[in-house]
Amino acid sequence: MTGFSEALALLSFGDQGWGDELLKGLLITLLLACSALPFGLLLGGSVSAMSMSQSRLTRSIALLFTTVIRGLPELLTLFMIYHGVGLFINQLLAWFSPNNGYFDFSPFLAGVIALSLVFSGYAAEVLRGAWQSIDKGQREAGQSLAMGRVQIFWLIERPQIIRLALPGLGNLWINLVKDTALVSVIALDDLMRMTNIAVGATKKPFLFYLTVCALYWLICILFERVLAQLEIRANRGMQPRH
């Protein structure tokens, strides 16, 4: 009972416990993931459209982007953005004026950019696969009704792309939430970094890492339930496959 009481005290809120710090880190983790998602979807959709272009150059650029992003480890992408972009900005400022001070590149912004790039590289392939799986006859039917290319995409193709790509995008979203733990290495006070600080101060690694495992697991279970409902809604009216 003594050990259990000590664990509750360490995880409690207030001056004696680390609950406040873990909650703050959890909120930053969720904010980071939610901030990276729209940018990743927008960039992934753009790259997907480029990969479906009739221009060979445009398709090559899209292929190069997805190949590079998917070929790099997520941690290396994060380091390249955080250190590389920060160095570039400071050199650019020094080039304009030597009197410009040092620009401190935000770890949160670096995390958003890096996670958005990683998400977009995989999302582009998921969206491209969904787009290519649509029957070409539907596009031809739209053309026969004198619909423009934008109308065909928005009214006919877009709803089906969303339905077909939703399972894959859902898996990428779960991976994105878990990948936020990588940002702790660039001193962002997310859930993982606050856990490491708590472990260093209390010397109780098993307690805090087990707690964080439970938090990540609960978050992923919650999002999986939400995604399952979205898939049911997206597939309403469709005949079940046997």
The pLDDT > 90 percentage for the chain reads: 69
pTM score: 0.91
Burial tier of 55 (Cβ tally within 10 Å: 0-12, 13-18, 19+)? exposed
Q: How far apart are CA 59 and CA 29, in angstroms?
A: 34
Structural domains of the chain, with CATH? 2-234 (1.10.3720.10)
Q: How far is CA 22 from the centre of its chain?
A: 21
Q: Tokens 């026969």 correspond to what residue?
A: 144
The pLDDT tens digits of the residues spanning 30-74 come to 999 999 999 999 999 999 999 999 999 999 999 999 999 999 999
- Is the pLDDT at 103 greater than 90? The verdict is no
Q: Is the dihedral of CA 171, 106, 212, 69 positive or negative?
A: positive
